[in-house]
Every structure is written in C-alpha cells, then in structure tokens.
C-alpha cells in the first residue's frame, strides 16, 4: 500500500499544480475533485486552504483542524439525509462512520481513567476509529449531577477527538433523561456555546430510555431539548434514544420528531439481539425515510457480559458479523461498547479479572491486553480501514493510506481519494520500473506555501526534479 507522509496531502499536491509551481500532469483525474481548490490568483483563499490542511491540524489562531484526509475534513459535518446520514461535503451521498464508545464517565466506575487524549489518540491511530462517544453519566452515583469532573473528563475526550479530525458524540448517558430535562437543557445549552456548528460534534440527548418509558414521553422531552439546542444556535446532528433501551426505534414512527436534523438511536448486544429478531425495528424507520444511528453496540449479552450473571463469556463474533453486514448494507454508522477494563465481557480491556495496567499507547494497542470483545472490535475496525478505499485517514497523524481504484474500463489506477480516482503516469511507471520505491524530500517556497514531505507513488516535480 502506498503512503503519503508528513505535510503533504493529495489536495495539497493538486494545489501545487493550481498555483503553478513546476508540476507535471502525471495523475490523470478520473472523477470529480474531492475538494474545491482556491484560485491561484487569490492569496487569501490560498492561505485559508493551507490553514485548513496544515500538518499539525492547527489554524493560525491556535484552534484545531483535522488534516485533509481525516473523516471530518473529507465528509464535513454529519447530517440527516432522508433515511441516511450524509456529510456537508457529500451532498446526498450517504456516509457511514465506525468507532467506539467510552464507558460511563462516572467517578469510580472504572471507565473514568480512560477519558483522556492518550486513549482517544490510540482509538484513532491504532484502532482506526472514525468516531468516538463520550458517555457522560448524570444521576447515577459518581455522575455529573454530583461531580462536575464528569464533564471535565468528557470534554477532554471531545477536544482530543476534534484535534484528531474525527467525530465525537456528546452523550447524555442516562436511562431517565425525561426526568432530568432541566439539567439536560442547561447542559446542552452551555455546551452549544462552545461547540455549536463544530463539524466534529454530535449531540446525543438520551442514551437508553427504559422499557417503561413510552415514545410519547421521550418525544416530549426530545422536542424541548432539541428546541433549546437550536435556539442556542447549533445545527449539529442530534441523536435521540428510543423505547426499551433504544431497541425499538420503530415505535417512534407513530409520531416522528419534527426537527429535520435528527437520527433515531438503535442499540444492540449481539448475544441477545440478533438481526433476525431486531433488524425489522430498524427497517421500519428506514422505510419511513428516517435515519438510524447505532450509537452503542456490544458483542455480548445485553447486560454487558456481567460475570455475576454468568454472562462474561458471551461474546458472539458470528452475530456481530451479521449486524455489521446489515449496517453496511444500510450505511448505518456505529460505536462499539466500551473503552474500559471493568471485569465484564463487553469491556475492551482486561483479562481474567485483571486490568490493562498502565494506560499508554503500547498497552492500548496490545491484543494481549484485550478481551475477546476488544480484540474483535480492534480487528474489525482495522479491517474496515484497510479495505475502505475512500482515501480517508483516521486523524492527523501525518499519514494517508492510498489504495488502488479502477476506472470504467476496469484498469488499475492510483489512488482513491474521496470521490476521485487518480492515475499514475504509465510512461513514468515504465521508466522507473516501480512506481512505489522512490522517495524524495522536497521543499517548495512561494505564496506562503511550505511543504516538507516524503512522497511515494505520486507523479509531481519539485524544484524542477521529477519525483514520484
């Protein structure tokens, strides 16, 4: 697999050509440009473009931006789009992102120690998550109601996800949110003041209503909280939990929400909920032209793989595979539960009732530290990333994966990038014998453009010297 490293990205290479710095046309454009390039005669537009796609993900004012290949930079803000989720940069083309959910943020529950940038970075760089979910508990012991440090922790996750260029769900992780409406309204209104219209951020206003809570009750709560969020100036996508621990979104179709940028939440635990027993609940929603978002799923029994109930070893790869096939077929985004080393089967880390140990990059990416469920999710997300072919990378670690794509005549081209398929110059390939071997560093100075990069598999010239 070819890789482009350091400061240079394909859109930046295209920009080099646009501003006329000694480039050659070795990449034949097959499809539409994935990004709109600035005019070579507009210095301000060029500066804005370079700011948005700098290598360290920072704007000149110090605020964070993802690099050009991250999910958010590629798709833009997620939005409801009929029965799908689309991106602000994809028009009506559906977008599907996959990632992970943190465990309850509650102090002393075991998941709180994972709420930091080190873990977010590993989930993005090593696990290849495109989205993370900060599950902020409220009324349960150690929750936000009595301990404000829950939001401090959750905010650390939110900010780290933004810095990595991935999506992040701010989740009011409650089973009783309709009785917490005043607190939830205050929280989301305050949160909106900082994150309104940030393309990375999604609001989930109700995690899992109990089976005793009707859709009518949920709807009344949701309409009011959504109205407060919109009044505060946020147009972000909003996720709304549904009856019976978010297993019955179909019941919401009797009286759908009136906001046009919401998705209905579905949760499953694969050892208890199968596609044969529960997928029709999703299909009903899709048939009503409304989107579903699986903001939480587990590979185990619905109790999370509780060892006290004899359910620790209930991980079901087969059932989870079936769900992934269903979600893929319907372009449904998802987050796997959960980032913790609590002794339960759905935890990602810890084996035989022993924890992960030191929370560092090495341990977070070490399969020997993972449960059966953790290993499954780790490998599944990595497999999706390796085979996606959409040209996105997970975060701004300075690396973009390039894969082959085929044109209408079934000929191989390099490389997939967004909706574009770009070709290596055949003559140049023949003259070198191997398009993948040469690596050249070049520095280009002009019009505020500073590039210091290693380049593989890309036909460009640098200071008059032709390089791959």
- Asked if residue 199 and residue 253 are part of one domain, the reply reads yes
pLDDT exceeding 70 applies to what percent of the chain? Answer: 68
245-254 per-residue burial string, b: 16 or more CB within 10 A, e: under 16: bbbbbbbbbe
- Asked if residue 32 and residue 117 are part of one domain, the reply reads no
Among residues 204, 296, 344, 456, the one annotated as catalytic is 296
Q: Return the CA Rg of the chain.
A: 23
Instruction: Tell me 35's DSSP state.
Output: S
Among residues 204, 208, 344, 456, the one annotated as catalytic is 208
Is 296 known to be catalytic?
yes
Residue 178: give its domain's CATH number.
3.20.20.80
Residues 279-314 have pLDDT tens digits of: 999 999 999 999 999 999 999 999 999 999 999 999
| String of DSSP letters for 180-222 | -HHHHHHHHHHHHHHHTT-TTEEEE--S---TTS-HHHHHHHH
Whether pLDDT at 425 is above 50: no
pLDDT of residue 370: 98
In a domain, 18, yes or no: yes
Q: Count helices and strands (H / E) in the chain.
A: 13, 21
Is 204 known to be catalytic?
no
Whether pLDDT at 69 is above 60: yes
Pairing of strands 2-6, 416-417: unpaired
Instruction: Give the C-alpha separation, 128 to 186, whole Å.
Output: 34
- Asked if residue 90 and residue 123 are part of one domain, the reply reads yes
Whether pLDDT at 250 is above 60: yes
- Asked if residue 297 and residue 433 are part of one domain, the reply reads no
Instruction: Give the C-alpha separation, 54 to 450, whole Å.
Output: 10
- Asked if residue 192 and residue 295 are part of one domain, the reply reads yes
Residues 176-222 have pLDDT tens digits of: 999 999 999 999 999 999 999 999 999 999 999 999 999 999 999 99
Please work out, in degrees rounded to the nearest 5, the angle formed at the alpha carbon of residue 391 by the alpha carbons of 386 and 396.
90
pLDDT band at 352 (very low <50, low <70, confident <90, very high): confident
Domain of 41, in residue numbers: 2-55+399-467
Distance of CA 227 to the CA centre of its chain: 26
pLDDT band at 460 (very low <50, low <70, confident <90, very high): very low
- Asked if residue 136 and residue 50 are part of one domain, the reply reads no
pLDDT of residue 389: 56
In a domain, 212, yes or no: yes
Residues 136-184 have pLDDT tens digits of: 999 999 999 999 999 999 999 999 999 999 999 999 999 999 999 999 9
Residues 32-63 have pLDDT tens digits of: 333 344 444 454 544 444 444 333 333 333 33
Q: Which residue, of 359, 387, 415, is where some domain finishes?
A: 387
- Asked if residue 354 and residue 278 are part of one domain, the reply reads yes
Whether pLDDT at 345 is above 50: yes
Residue among 300, 304, 312, 298 at smallest CA distance from 267: 298
In a domain, 65, yes or no: no
Phi, psi of 134 (to 5 degrees): -95, 110
pLDDT of residue 444: 26
In a domain, 438, yes or no: yes
Q: Which residues contact 14 (CB under 8 A, 6 or more apart)?
A: 33, 35, 37
Residue 35, token pair as written in the block: 């990004």
Alpha helices, DSSP H, located in 256-348: 275-287, 317-329
Residue 451, token pair as written in the block: 């590039």
Residue among 55, 42, 44 at smallest CA distance from 12: 55
Residues 82-139 have pLDDT tens digits of: 999 999 999 999 999 999 999 999 999 999 999 999 999 999 999 999 999 999 999 9
The dihedral sign for the CA sequence 302, 306, 309, 315: positive
pLDDT of residue 393: 54
- Asked if residue 340 and residue 438 are part of one domain, the reply reads no
- Partners of 6 in beta bridges: 453
Counting the structural domains of the chain, the total is: 2
Mean pLDDT of the chain: 78
């Amino acid at each position: 697999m070819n890789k482009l490293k350091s400061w240079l990205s394909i859109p930046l290479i295209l920009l080099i050509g646009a501003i006329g710095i000694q480039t050659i046309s070795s990449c034949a454009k097959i499809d539409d440009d994935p990004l709109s390039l600035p005019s070579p005669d507009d210095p301000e537009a060029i500066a804005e473009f370079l700011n948005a796609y700098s290598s360290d993900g920072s704007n000149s004012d110090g605020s964070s931006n993802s690099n050009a290949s991250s999910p958010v930079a590629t798709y833009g803000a997620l939005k409801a789009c009929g029965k799908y989720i689309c991106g602000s940069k994809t028009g009506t083309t559906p977008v599907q992102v996959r990632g992970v959910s943190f465990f309850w943020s509650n102090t002393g529950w075991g998941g709180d120690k994972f709420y930091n940038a080190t873990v977010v970075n590993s989930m993005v760089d090593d696990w290849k998550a495109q989205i993370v979910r900060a599950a902020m508990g409220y009324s349960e012991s150690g929750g936000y109601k009595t301990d404000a440090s829950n939001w401090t922790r959750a905010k650390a996750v939110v900010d780290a996800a933004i810095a990595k260029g991935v999506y992040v769900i701010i989740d009011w992780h409650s089973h009783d949110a309709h009785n917490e409406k005043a607190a939830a309204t205050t929280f989301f209104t305050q949160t909106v003041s900082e994150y309104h219209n940030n393309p990375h951020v999604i609001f989930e206003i109700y995690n899992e209503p109990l089976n005793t809570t009707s859709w009518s009750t949920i709807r009344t709560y949701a309409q009011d909280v959504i109205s407060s969020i919109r009044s505060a100036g946020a147009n972000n996508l909003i996720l709304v939990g549904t009856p019976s621990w978010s297993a019955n979104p179909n019941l919401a179709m009797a009286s759908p929400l009136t906001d046009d940028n919401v998705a209905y939440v579905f949760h499953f635990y694969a050892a208890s909920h199968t596609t044969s027993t529960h997928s029709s609940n999703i299909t009903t929603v899709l048939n009503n032209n409304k989107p579903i978002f699986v903001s939480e799923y587990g590979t185990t029994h619905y109790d999370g793989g509780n060892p006290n109930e004899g359910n620790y070893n209930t991980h079901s790869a087969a059932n989870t595979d079936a769900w992934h096939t269903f979600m893929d077929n319907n372009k449904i985004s998802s987050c796997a539960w959960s980032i913790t080393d609590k002794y339960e089967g759905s935890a990602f880390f810890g084996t035989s009732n022993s924890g992960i140990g030191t929370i560092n990059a090495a341990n977070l990416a070490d399969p020997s530290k993972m449960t059966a469920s953790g290993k499954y999710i780790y490998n599944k997300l990595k497999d999706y990333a390796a085979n996606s072919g959409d040209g996105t990378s997970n975060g701004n670690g300075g690396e973009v994966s390039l894969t082959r794509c085929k044109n209408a005549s079934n000929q191989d081209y390099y490389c997939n990038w967004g909706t574009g398929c770009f070709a290596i110059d055949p003559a140049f390939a023949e003259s070198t014998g191997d398009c993948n071997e040469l690596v050249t560093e070049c520095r280009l100075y002009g019009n505020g453009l500073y590039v210091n990069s290693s380049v593989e598999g890309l036909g460009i010239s640098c200071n008059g010297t032709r390089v791959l």
